[in-house]
Amino acid sequence: MSASLQIMLLSLLACLLVVAAALIVWRHRRNPGEKERRRRIMLHRTGRMVEAMVADFHESLVWYSYTVSGVSYYASQDLSGLSSLAAGDSSGIIGPAYIKYSPRNPANSIVACEEWSGFWRNRDAAGTNRKPHLEKERLTDEKTA
């Protein structure tokens, strides 16, 4: 085999490898919806929880504010990917809630995801919010009963 033929074959092989790598990367690229879903799940599993105030809910978009280490944050979350919450009544959503935020970046937060919701949907007869029954409170109530 001549040297020029070997160079041409190696060049062709290199081009094929680059095209194959590009196709593999392109096929496994995540769409924006999948990236957002993974972000929500990551924050649910690794985030810290803090109380927040939900200010508004309109067409599956919720606006809320919270404070971490003396710094106030104002954020919004699109709940359209969460069908059980997006179609909900706003009367059970506006008011106090819990959010989960990233300890590395407190501005990165969620109020709900596929596995968790921070909304206080429990209301009394007068329509005022009550704190959700947390596991610790439930155990305390069972001991006193």
pLDDT of residue 124: 45
Judged against a pLDDT cut of 90, whether residue 84 lies above it is answered with no
Reported in sequence order, the residue ranges of 21-112 that DSSP labels E, i.e. its strands, are 48-58, 61-68, 71-78, 95-101, 109-110
CB 96 within 8 A of CB 53: yes
Residues belonging to the chain: 145
Measured between alpha carbons, how far is 44 from 38 in angstroms, rounded to an integer? 10
State pTM to two decimals: 0.65
> How high does pLDDT run on average in the chain?
81
pLDDT of residue 27: 76
Measured between alpha carbons, how far is 116 from 129 in angstroms, rounded to an integer? 19
Give the model confidence (pLDDT) of 86-110 as tens digits. Answer: 555 666 788 999 999 999 999 999 9
